[in-house]
Amino acid sequence: MTISVLDQVAKEKGLAVLGTGDFTHPGYFKELEEELEPLGNGLFVRPEGAGTKFILSAEISNIFSQRGKTYRVHTLVLAPDLGTVREINRVLSRRGNIYADGRPIFGFSVKELARLIREIDSRCLVIPAHAWTPWFSIFGAASGFDSLEEAFEEELEFIYAIETGLSSDPEMNWRLSALDSITLVSNSDAHSPAKIGREANAFEGEPSYEAISRAIREKSLLFTVEFYPEEGKYHYDGHRSCGVVFSPQETKAHKGLCPVCGQPLTIGVMHRVEELADRPPGFRPEGVPGSIHLVPLLEIIAEAEGVRPTAARVAKIYKQLITLGGSEFDILLRLSYQTLGEFVPERILEGIRRVREGRISVRPGYDGLYGEVRIFSEAPGPESSAQSGTSSPQLSLF
């Protein structure tokens, strides 16, 4: 995940702009300063590289007590220039150890983090990360708050967005009227190159820090690219070690306890959304950006070939297709079936067609275990009730 690798992989995925990640880490920040050239619009490129534009980003972990309860919240920060990052790092280094981890941990509240960043540079954006996951998020069952007001109080007016995370999608978040004024962003939260771009945000016009930040503040994203939320690690409730996976209703019927070990179940994202929602499933607020659900091309190839996504054959076919098609997003979203038919093997093309039309089935993820997508057959285990099997109008966005 060095800058040169990020630069190249973002191009293969079809991303115009990529977050650098980890700018709070002094070693990595030094690399950013040495390897990136400012474009003068708040974005950066690697000279003689693949052309990916970078936006300065970091994730911060706050673990803190408030009114007798412990909270653990991850937050994204976007910054407009290197000088601002230098100042953020200087201030944060006095409050904790920024050398220990790419995502440093602090003992003060998220509200204080928001204030501190805003006071350094009000052009920065502070965005609660993967907002619904149980252990480290703003709404998490075991870690978070019941509302953004409760978490940010008077700083709330400077919070413009939350990240829906892999286990939830905009459709789930639309069920909370409390989020109507909040922009829902989708990022890949990648910890390895292959996972870059599994979620993304589409903006209109020439990219610049100002344009991206304005679209987030004004809620004018074009659309987001989504993982099927069932595929995320915390969609349903359950116990991984006990092999128990429950829908929110089943968990309630069991009073939140595991029928195998008797301990409280890990409460997933769907359950928390159900708890805090004040609208029925399927509600769509007026004027919200659309969302497109995708399955990563590596997974489509793997299932078409009947092997694991990590198999060498899958990587080889992936490379060939990207070389011929331009990028992963070109292949998954932009190119017509006729064009794809000229270079994509038939069974993989059928997989792309099914993904585009939403004709797939997903075994929901739970308690840290990713869900499993099946494109050519039914997923084993309990079926989720979400998009799977419905023919979706998602491609009309293009």
Least distance from C-beta 212 to Zn ion, angstroms? Answer: 21
Footprint of Zn ion on residues 110-169 (CB under 5 A)?
129
Mapping DSSP onto H, E and C, the string for 38-56 reads ECCCCCEECCCCCCCEEEE
Q: Which is nearer to Zn ion, 131 or 179 (CB)?
A: 131
186 or 394: CB nearest Zn ion = 186
Footprint of Zn ion on residues 175-214 (CB under 5 A)? none
In this structure, what is the dihedral angle of CA atoms 85, 52, 75, 373, given to the nearest 10 degrees? -170
Residue 263: phi and psi, rounded to 5, are: -85, 160
Residue 167, CB-side half-sphere exposure with 13 Å CA sphere: 31
Q: Does 74 bind Zn ion (CB under 5 A)?
A: yes
In the chain, which residue ranges form alpha helices assigned H by DSSP?
Answer: 3-13, 26-35, 82-93, 110-120, 148-152, 170-173, 209-218, 248-253, 269-276, 297-305, 312-325, 328-329, 337-341, 346-356
Contact 89, 29 (CB under 8 A): yes
**Binding-site string for Zn ion from residue 15 to residue 54, where x marks contact by CB under 5 A and - marks none:** ----------------------------------------
> Which run of H or E residues covers position 346?
helix 346-356
- Please identify which residue in 258, 292, 314, 321 interacts with Zn ion, judged by CB under 5 A: 258
CB of 261 to Zn ion, least distance (A): 3
Quick one: which segment of 7-15, 107-115, 258-266, 289-297 binds Zn ion (CB under 5 A)?
A: 258-266
72 scored as a contact of Zn ion (CB under 5 A): no
For Zn ion, give the closer residue by CB, 36 or 58: 58
Q: Specify the residue, 14 or 19, whose C-beta has the smaller distance to Zn ion.
A: 19
Between residue 259 and residue 278, which ones bind Zn ion under the rule CB under 5 A?
A: 260-261
Which amino acid is present at 345? Answer: P
Residue 339 sits at the vertex; the CA angle it makes with 348 and 328, to the nearest 5 degrees, is 55
Minimum Å gap between C-beta 298 and Zn ion is: 22
Two structure tokens written together for 375:
């494109």
Rounded CA-CA distance 314/370 in Å is: 20
Alpha carbons 237 and 367: distance in angstroms, whole number = 7
CB 226 within 8 A of CB 292: yes
Cβ proximity to Zn ion, 91 vs 260, nearer residue? 260
- Cα–Cα distances (Å) from 43 to 236, 318, 361, in that order, read 38, 29, 39
Instruction: Please report how close the Cβ of residue 242 comes to Zn ion at its closest, in angstroms.
Output: 3
- Nearest approach in angstroms of CB 169 to Zn ion is 18
Nearest to 49 by CA among 77, 18, 83: 18
User: Nearest approach, Cβ of 249 to Zn ion (angstroms)?
Assistant: 18
Site residues for Zn ion, window 227-246 (CB under 5 A)?
A: 239, 242
Q: Does 395 bind Zn ion (CB under 5 A)?
A: no
CB 252, min distance to Zn ion, A: 16
Closer residue to Zn ion, CB minimum distance, 5 or 260:
260
Which residue ranges make up the site for Zn ion (CB under 5 A)?
A: 74, 129, 239, 242, 258, 260-261
